Homo-oligomer: A and B are copies of this chain.
Amino acid sequence: MKLSRESKYGLAGLIYLARQRPGTVLTVKTVAAAQVLPGTFLAKTFGRLARHGVLRSHRGRRRGYELARNPREIGVREILEDIEGPDLFARCIFGSEGCSEQRPCLLHERWKAVRPRVAESLAALTLADCAAGRTAPGALSRMGD
């Protein structure tokens, strides 16, 4: 019932990017330094986010990452699925592979009913929302605990 630290880092990095003027390209090192995150770790996460089309990467002179799309079109759900795995809101609450419609686990029906609400709620929340501080101003710099 909790998300990994990697999700937190990734989200923090993306929000930082979303707060720059559109089209800004920043290096992982820069973002990591600004947000006080482990840089080499964030690099992996950013790489993955680029592969999934949330970020766009650049090499050569204008190197670094930029948001691939408008922040209001990037949902938090999507981001979390990229980082935690695509089945984040689809899999069994006990993590059983064998759990399915045909072979439901003990909480299958209940969880199936609740899951979409969680997913929808996070899908409706966009990077722009987070960046705008609708979450809470200054939250980024206090995420070290």
Contact = CB atoms under 8 A, between A and B. Distances in A.
Interface of A: 1-3, 5, 7-8, 11-12, 15, 76, 84, 88-89, 91-99, 103-110, 113-114, 117-118, 121-122, 125, 130, 134-136, 139-140, 142-145
A67 B134 CA distance: 46
Copies per assembly? 2
Contacts of A104: 135-136, 139
A137 to B, nearest CB: 10
Contact of A143 (B7, B96, B121): B96
Chain A interface mostly helix, strand, loop or mixed? loop
- Residue in A15, A97, A140, A143 with the greatest tally of chain B CB atoms within 10 Å: A143
B122 A135 contact: no
Contacts of A88: 1
